[in-house]
């Protein structure tokens, strides 16, 4: 079953934090000595944060990840559009940097020029911290002079061509962006963009993190290929709005998201006639997350592809679940034309013994009770 993620963008007037650095592009030079203290009063909401934006050179995917001691940080900081770019806007946050930056990059403006343009229009720019990366691998970041210490950013291109920018403000210690980059370069598990972003966030927290603690976190990853609609091409869109351990919770949800992504890849392999690859993806999905839901719909996809024998252990795994009635769920599918209208086939599947799930090769304990 194909899962389509959608990106929900909640606009709220929010503030996050960041110190001084000048930005120089072909469009504009903003000097760190410019005095903007006479600008219109700014509502102070000290929502500090650390974030990272990156473009993976191997896949072309673009991503943003963030953590803050502020409710629903994911509704303000991370912005991304498939085949266009990614933005993190924080400190006393200017929400317009997200959509405006993406629109500019969509029109072919480079990340550094896009960032310079949005900053030039903002009288409160010395309170802002922002980073942008475009689909071509150009990256730029800015930390305003009036952001709350410790505040800084670092932009780097890795040996494989992956580009990233790490930025932080109101941190307990200096050096958080550098710690994030090291975490991104050396993930403790997995080498997908999501795993590397997650590793960077944990590294930031281990380096001291937000001086006020933790509350919310978010991750947004999109494909590198351009799509017709801005809501298309979203790979991962996860928010932890309020949690005592937002990074641990985000990490748990990222694992679940990768499981469903693997299941979707299995569906694609079925459509392409690659049964072996489909089974590999489906097994990987169930290894990532011991879920009767994943097992059940995997089995349904396999039967619909004519692979009844291969579906048996997946059905068994679902039927083993004491919390849901998957047999009755299966009985209802033919009427919705989601399963073959074949009473003999249906009856044969319903007679599958739950212990037949032992034929699946999975890591760790696959007991549904331990989900």
Domain membership of residue 269 (yes or no) is no
Q: Judge if pTM exceeds 0.85.
A: no
pLDDT greater than 90 at residue 103: yes
The verdict on 46 and 176 lying in the same domain is yes
Predicted confidence (pLDDT) at residue 48 exceeds the cutoff of 50: yes
Same-domain check for residues 282 and 234: no
204/285 same-domain check: no
Regarding whether 212 and 314 lie in a shared domain, the answer is: no
Query: Which string of DSSP letters, residue by residue, matches 139-181?
Result: EEEEE-TTSPSS-EEEEEE-TTS-EEEEEE-SBSSS-HHHHHH
- Mean pLDDT score of the chain: 86
pLDDT at 1: 38
Residue 131 lies in a domain: yes
Give residues with Cβ within 8 angstroms of 110, minimum separation 6.
134, 136, 138
203 and 343 share one domain: no
Q: What is the pLDDT of residue 17?
A: 36
Of 218, 243, 268, which closes a domain?
243
Phi first, then psi: what are they for 248, rounded to 5°?
-60, -40
**Chain center to CA of 88:** 13
Residue 6 pLDDT class (50, 70, 90 cuts): very low
Q: By the 8 A CB rule, do 207 and 217 touch?
A: no
Instruction: Name the residue with higher pLDDT: 84 or 288.
Output: 84
Asked if residue 261 belongs to a domain, the reply is: no
- Residue 263 inside a domain? The answer is no
Residue pair 233/82 in contact by the 8 Å Cβ criterion: yes
Given 187, 218, 243, the domain boundary residue is 243
Q: Are residues 227 and 345 in the same domain?
A: no
Supply the DSSP symbol for 41: P
- pLDDT over threshold 90, residue 245: yes
Same domain, 227 and 298: no
Residues 238 and 287 in one domain: no
DSSP result, 206-261? HTT-BTT---EEEEEEE-SS--SSTTSSEEEEEEE-S-SSHHHHHHHHHHHHHHHH
355: containing domain = 276-370
| Domain assignment present for 177 | yes
Q: Is residue 117 part of a domain?
A: yes
How does residue 141 score in pLDDT terms, banded at 50, 70 and 90? Answer: very high
Domain match, 85 and 223 both: yes
Q: What is the pLDDT at residue 363?
A: 45
Question: Which of 23-27, 152-156, 246-250 is predicted least confidently?
Answer: 23-27
Q: Other C-beta atoms within 10 Å of 342: how many?
A: 12
Q: Are residues 220 and 351 in the same domain?
A: no
Percent of the chain exceeding pLDDT 70 equals: 83
Name the domain count of the chain: 2
pLDDT at 38: 36
**Contact (Cβ atoms closer than 8 angstroms) between residue 352 and residue 327:** no
The alpha carbon of 19 is separated from its chain's Cα centroid by a whole number of angstroms, namely 27
Same domain (yes/no): 239, 288: no
Question: Does a structural domain hold residue 248?
Answer: no
| Structural domain contains residue 178 | yes
Q: What pLDDT does residue 357 have? A: 72
Query: What number of other Cβ atoms are within 10 A of residue 273's Cβ?
Result: 9
pLDDT tens figures, 57-101: 999 999 999 999 999 999 999 999 999 999 999 999 999 999 999
Which of 88-104 are b and which e, b meaning 16 or more Cβ less than 10 Å from the residue's Cβ? bbbbbbbbebbbbbbeb
Give the rounded percent of residues in the chain with a pLDDT score beyond 90.
Answer: 74
Over residues 205-221, mean pLDDT? 95
280 in the same domain as 226: no
Look up the CATH number of the domain holding residue 144. Answer: 3.60.20.10
Q: Is the pLDDT of residue 16 over 70?
A: no
Helix axes 97-106, 111-120, angle to 10 degrees: 140
d(CA 351, CA 108): 58
Residue 355 banded pLDDT, cuts 50, 70, 90 = confident
Q: Among residues 198, 219, 243, which one ends one of the domains?
A: 243
Q: Lowest-confidence range among 40-49, 130-139, 164-173, 287-296?
A: 40-49
């Amino acid at each position: 079953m194909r899962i389509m993620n959608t990106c929900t963008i909640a606009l709220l007037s929010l503030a996050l934090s960041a110190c001084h650095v000048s930005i120089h592009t072909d469009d504009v030079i903003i000097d760190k000595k410019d005095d903007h203290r006479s600008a219109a009063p700014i509502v102070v909401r000290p929502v500090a944060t650390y974030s990272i934006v990156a473009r993976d050179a191997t896949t072309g995917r673009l991503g943003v990840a963030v953590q803050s001691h502020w409710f629903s940080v994911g509704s303000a900081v991370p912005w991304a559009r498939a085949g266009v770019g990614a933005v993190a806007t924080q400190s006393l946050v200017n929400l317009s940097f997200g959509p405006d930056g993406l629109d500019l990059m969509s029109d072919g403006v480079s990340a550094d020029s896009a960032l310079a343009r949005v900053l030039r229009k903002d009288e409160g720019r010395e309170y802002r911290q922002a980073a942008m990366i475009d689909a071509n691998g150009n990256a730029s970041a800015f930390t305003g002079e009036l952001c709350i210490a410790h505040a800084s950013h670092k932009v780097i291109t890795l040996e494989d061509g992956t580009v990233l920018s790490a930025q932080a403000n109101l941190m307990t210690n200096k050096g958080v962006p550098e710690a994030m980059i090291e975490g991104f370069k050396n993930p403790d598990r997995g080498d997908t963009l999501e795993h590397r972003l997650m590793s960077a966030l944990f590294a930031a927290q281990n380096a001291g993190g937000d001086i006020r603690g933790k509350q919310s976190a978010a991750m947004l990853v999109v494909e590198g290929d351009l799509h017709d609609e801005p809501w298309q091409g979203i790979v991962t869109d996860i928010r932890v709005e309020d949690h005592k351990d937002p990074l641990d919770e985000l990490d748990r949800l990222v694992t679940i998201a990768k499981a469903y992504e693997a299941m979707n890849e299995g569906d694609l392999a079925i459509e392409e006639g690659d049964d072996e690859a489909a089974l590999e993806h489906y097994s990987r999905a169930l290894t990532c997350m011991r879920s009767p839901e994943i097992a059940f719909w995997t089995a349904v996809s396999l039967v619909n592809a004519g692979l009844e024998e291969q579906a048996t252990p997946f059905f068994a795994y679902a039927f083993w679940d004491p919390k849901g009635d998957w047999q009755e769920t299966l009985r209802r599918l033919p009427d919705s034309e989601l399963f073959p209208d074949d009473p003999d086939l249906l009856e044969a599947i319903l007679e599958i013994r739950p212990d037949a799930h032992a034929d699946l090769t999975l890591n760790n304990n696959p007991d549904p009770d331990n989900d």
